[in-house]
Chains A and B, each alone.
Chain A
Amino acid sequence: MSFNNQTLDHLKKLCKLECSPEEDQNILESLTRILEYITQLDGIDTDNVKPCRYVLQGMMKNQMRDDEVKDLLSREQFLANAPDQIGGMIRVPPVMKNP
C-alpha cells in the first residue's frame, strides 16, 4: 500500500477540503506513519468475527416514533447563524449556468 501526493489529492476532492502546500506535507507524513502503524491489525484472525456495529448488543432496538411535524426551530432562529441570507433564505452562489 502506498500513500502519496496523488492519494492525498484524491482524498481532498472526496472530503472537499483544501490545504496549503505546507499542510499537505505535514498531513502526508503523519498519515503515512499512522497507516503504517495500523497495519498491525492485518495479523489478527477475524475470519469468523462479526463487525461491531452497536456496542451494547443486549440493548439494541429500533427507536421508532410517529412522523409528526414539530415546531422546534423558527426560521428566524435558524437563519441567525447563516453566513449569508436573502429574503428569509440562505444565499449561495449560482449552481447552474445559463444555457
Chain B
Amino acid sequence: MDDSKTLNLNVRKDFPILSKKILEKKDLIYFDTAASAQKPNTVIDETNDFYKNHYSNVSRGVHTLSVESTFRYEDARKKVQKFLNARSENEIIFTKSATEGINLVAQTFYEKFMQKGDEVILSLIEHHSNLIPWFFLRDKYGVVLKFANIQPSGEIDIDHFNSLFTNKTKIVSLTHLSNVFGTELNEKAISICKDKNVPILLDGCQSAAHLKIDVQKLGCDFFVFSGHKTYGPAGIGVLYGTENLLSEMPPYQGGGGMIGDVSLEGASYAELPAKYEAGTPPLVEAHGLGIAIDYMNKIGLDNIIEHENEITKYAFNKLNEIDFIEIHGGDNKRNSIISFNIKNVHSHEVSSFLDVEGIAIRAGHHCCQPLMKHLGVNSTARLSFGVYNSLEEVDKFVIALHKCKEFFNK
C-alpha cells in the first residue's frame, strides 16, 4: 500500500461487531454497508437506555415517561430536519422504512393529483422499492409508467429522460445514488423537473450517509431514506416532503395519533407531521436514528465523504488493474459502491469464497432485476464502504479475489 494513503477515521473501535471473528478466526471486513450499515456503540447504548429508563408511548399520556419518550422522539425529528436542511419539522415524517415512504407518496399523491392515463417517470436503475409502488398505480388505476434509459457510465441518459415528459407527466421518482453503480444523479434531472413544474422524489437510501444532503439546495419535493443504512436501527425510515404537498395530500393510513377529532360520523385529521404517522411509531428506532446522526456529525460528514471517496477510488483503481475483473458502470466517480464480476465466476461463488476469508460483500441482483437484464448479467458482486473501512482492508480483499479466481479456474 502507498504510504501517502493512510487515511483512517479511527472509528473501528466504535463498532463492537467489527471485533467479531468470522468462523472463529478471521477478522471481519465489512464491505456491505449499502445493504445495511453496522451500528456504533452510542446507537446501541442509547436505544438500550431508552428501553431501560425512559420508555412509554409518545404523545399520548401526560406522565413523566410519556414526556421523556415524546421528547426523545421529537428531538430525533429535529435532528433529521437539520440533517436534511428541511425548512420545518413538519416536513419530516417518520415511517418504518424508506420503502414505506415511497409507497406513501405513490398512494397519496395519486389520490390527490392523478387519474387514469397520467404518467410517472422512473428509470432503469431504480431499486425494486422505487418500482413496485408505482407498478401498483399502473395495475390498479391505469397510470402510465415511463423509464429513462441509462448510459454505459451508469448515469441516466438526460436527453432521453427529457424526452419522456408530456403534459400528462405528474411526478418523477429517481434514485439519488445508484445502489448498483454508486453513481450520483445528474443534477440536470432535478432542474428539468423544476422547469417543467413536475414534482420529483429522490430515493436517498444510498446517499443519506455518503453525500451531504440539503433538500432545499437539491430542490427535490420528496426525499426518502432509511435509518439502518445510516448507522441507525432498522425499522425507521424518513420521508421528507415539502409542506405544500404534504398538506394537500390525504393521510396514508388511519389510526391513533393522526386524528384531530373523531365522532362516529367521521374524523378530522391532525396537522403535519402527525397526519402521516398513524399508530404507535417506531419511537426507540427514531431516537436511535437521531443518535446515529449525532455520530456522523461528530466525525463530520465532510470527513466521512473524503474518507469513503479515497477508499472507493483506491479500490476502483486496484480492481481496474485486474484483467479478470469486470467493473460495471464507466470510469466516472463512484460514491462508496462498486459492482463487479469475476469473469466466468458467478457472484455467489465470489461471495461464499470471500465469506470464509472474513469478507462480507453482497452478491445477487441488488433488488434491481430490470437493470441486471439491461446489463446482460444475472447478478453482480458489490463492494460498499462505510466509515469503518480502510485501505488495508481493500488490499486484503484484492488478495482474496486472486485466490478466489485461482480456486474456481483451477
The answer to whether A and B belong to the same complex is no
Residues of A within 8 A of B (CB): none
Residues of B within 8 A of A (CB): none
